Structure 1
């Protein structure tokens, strides 16, 4: 079973001062799934997510990624291992085009080293052509051809989120962490974004771990859905089951409510 898990969080704890943000929390993400993480404000979701992504080091516990203990490993090393993250606020290179933003992603390109440019110019130029071809394929997949040569800083919020999603396609990602992907995106582009996530999962085999407040989006994309409250995981299952469980609703909203 463990080899089917791309992320396995084991009994992690994180305190800030005297406050326990995450307390002895364990959860996992199955390879090939779109797994959602939800919970009320202050539940510990963002802290947990940041520990998985390498932005915060847990006080105790382990983060296992693709079978290896990566607890406390910085984000750039996790990137090399195949863990990629998008952010609530898109991090584009605003003065570069959408196409150039995608071409910046793959690391260790020969053209980055001056010696290769001088002494192995064919290798550098061939690699650049390959990266450009890959970027054009990604733009075509995401239907962003109409903004290919537009400066990324001029794109709408939704287009920037699509571009961030495209950047995850420029390398061999084993898992993509999506942080509040719906934030600042209009409903039309959000539908496009969700459709592309589904296609990447279904057609390309991408695994996603999604933290999100938009319950409709979570319900559309995610199975299973993990619920956190007061720093710990309290439930996991299909969204229909989560929505209909009165104990989960009470923990999530603070009092029993009707959920459609």
Structure 2
């Protein structure tokens, strides 16, 4: 497999605190790659740099060989790189259906000219988008709340809706930021199943930051461990769990881990 995301020698500091220190990673196309590490390891900072939410101090980020280091999140959206957030960013006063229908770009109804002079074009495209939204709701098992205000959904349902929004466009890479946080075990099973299906059936590549090691173990291969802003080790979850460096990074010593 070829790398779809490549991070080269990224540095990032806040004031005098160096958070990312010459960090390089690769995410292979078609993989579900996990990123873990103790608190303060730099996971979220690196994630936000890749997603275009935070500028790096130096280094390069590539998407399928193209330099995207200085691209904004909306530019990355149009290139097929999307992200979800630890706290869902739904439009709370719109329905679940409307949240999905908002996603596809360049809809003809956005133009006043089309709305006035080409209403059939607007209507036909809206019908297509609505049908796609219904299909996505069925895929993520949220058809029963399609007319519910998104703000009234449970935390787990909001996470499912965020995942569904990535399906309303031509996503290639999805960055998942602690998607299991605040989700009950039943809906977490639905989330993991949907991620697996999107990866297997639609070819999505995922980069996952997560503290739920059961989820990482089920979904991710390889797993990248960050510590002090650098890659400590990368490998299969079984190798990671038994790696002495990782144990000490998380727990301070082998004795504490025991």
Fold in common (TM above 0.5): yes
- Residue 256 of structure 1 and its aligned partner are, at CA, apart by 1.5
* Secondary structure of the structure 2 residue equivalent to 1:63: strand
For 2:99, which of 94, 101, 104 is the aligned residue? 101
Distance 2:82 2:5 in 1: 13
Once superposed, what is the RMSD of the aligned Cα atoms? 1.3
- Residue 189 of structure 1 and its aligned partner are, at CA, apart by 0.7
Count of residues in Structure 1 that have an aligned counterpart in Structure 2: 258
For 1:77, which of 31, 54, 75 is the aligned residue? 75
Write out aligned runs for 1:168-247 (5 A). Answer: 168-247=166-245
Distance 2:68 2:214 in 1: 32
Write out aligned runs for 1:1-260 (5 A). Answer: 4-256=2-254
Asked whether the 8 Å contact 1:250–1:257 carries over to 2, the reply is: no
- Residue 205 of structure 1 and its aligned partner are, at CA, apart by 1.0
Distance 2:57 2:92 in 1: 36
- Residue 82 of structure 1 and its aligned partner are, at CA, apart by 0.6
Distance 1:259 1:166 in 2: 38
* Secondary structure of the structure 1 residue equivalent to 2:94: coil
TM-score by length of 2: 0.97
Distance 2:131 2:24 in 1: 41
Runs (5+) with no aligned partner, structure 1: none
Q: Give CA deviations for 1:148-205 in whole Å, capped at 9, x if unaligned.
A: 1111011000000000000000001010000010111111111111111111111111
Q: Give CA deviations for 1:74-98 in whole Å, capped at 9, x if unaligned.
A: 1111111111000000000111110
Distance 2:194 2:22 in 1: 35
Q: 1:102 to 1:257 in 2, by over 3 A?
A: farther
Q: Give CA deviations for 1:35-60 in whole Å, capped at 9, x if unaligned.
A: 00000000010100010001111111
